[in-house]
Structure 1
Amino acid sequence: MKLRNAAAAAVAACALVLSLPGSALAAEGQFHYKYTDDFGQEQRVILDDPDSGECINLYAVGSDDVESGYAPQNQTDSWATVYADADCAGSEWRLRPMGRPATDHLRVRSVRFEVRDEPRKGTR
């Protein structure tokens, strides 16, 4: 009888944990930046709902061996910190949620989005 009660309690606890909303694991929205490809053409990259709390080396510019990206724009609901070097190193700048594009002079190779416990209401 005790074993059955313990098993029922464990199943109920698992169901409760699985039904609770988790913390925000991704910034909602888009992050944009530009880079110049090997043919001299300007390209624009969009990250949809990027992961929060981890360093993201940006596509095509996330290595110190290539030209860096530029003009980042944070259109997510989280603060973003952009870095001049790969692996979230070097000079850094914070970009507000739903912000305007930064100047072409702001060079970037990596980004990290703020981890939030709960979605913020009224963030613009």
Structure 2
Amino acid sequence: MSLRSVTAAVGAACSALVLLLTAPGSASAATGQFRYTYTTDEGYEAVGFLNNPASGKCVTLPTPAAGPGAVSRAPKNLTNSTATVFLDADCEGDTYYTLRPGGGASDRLLLRSVVFS
């Protein structure tokens, strides 16, 4: 093997390493805010939100009236990721709806949990 081919191989390997180290990693969070409406124990309307929620992780929405039947409604996906909302906790069940980034739904859409792409 000639010195020229060894030098070229080492140069290519170093270039690949530099490219690998400078490339951005995969996103681990949806950037932005996810909002939803819920009713407090006192009967007042309130807005809950998730800031920069983790991608790929199911979030059961926290509400003050967090009994087993407590649901939220009117989601607004102000993140840069697709949000899939579920009627059931733990992102389970057959009732779900997908919201594109920047999308939202009316008070008629009930939800209990959400996961982001």
The two structures have a TM-score, normalised by structure 2, of 0.76
SS in 2 for 1:82: strand
Gaps of at least 5 residues in structure 1 are 1-12, 115-124
Equivalent runs, 1:1-124 vs 2, <5 Å: 19-60=22-63, 65-90=68-93, 91-99=95-103, 101-114=104-117
What is the CA distance between 1:66 and its match in structure 2? Answer: 3.6
Q: So what's the TM-score if we normalise by structure 1?
A: 0.72
Residues 37 and 64 from structure 1, CA distance in 2 versus in 1: closer, same or farther, beyond 3 angstroms? closer
**Offset of 1:21 from its aligned partner?**
2.0
Q: Provide, for residues 19-48 of structure 1, a one-character-per-residue CA deviation record: whole Å limited to 9, x for no partner.
A: 542101000111000100100001101111
Runs (5+) with no aligned partner, structure 2: 1-16
The whole-number CA distance in structure 1 between the counterparts of 2:89 and 2:23 is 36
Structure 1: how far apart are the matches of 2:67 and 2:92? Answer: 11
State the SS of the aligned residue for 2:87: strand
Bigger Rg, which one:
2
Aligned length: 100
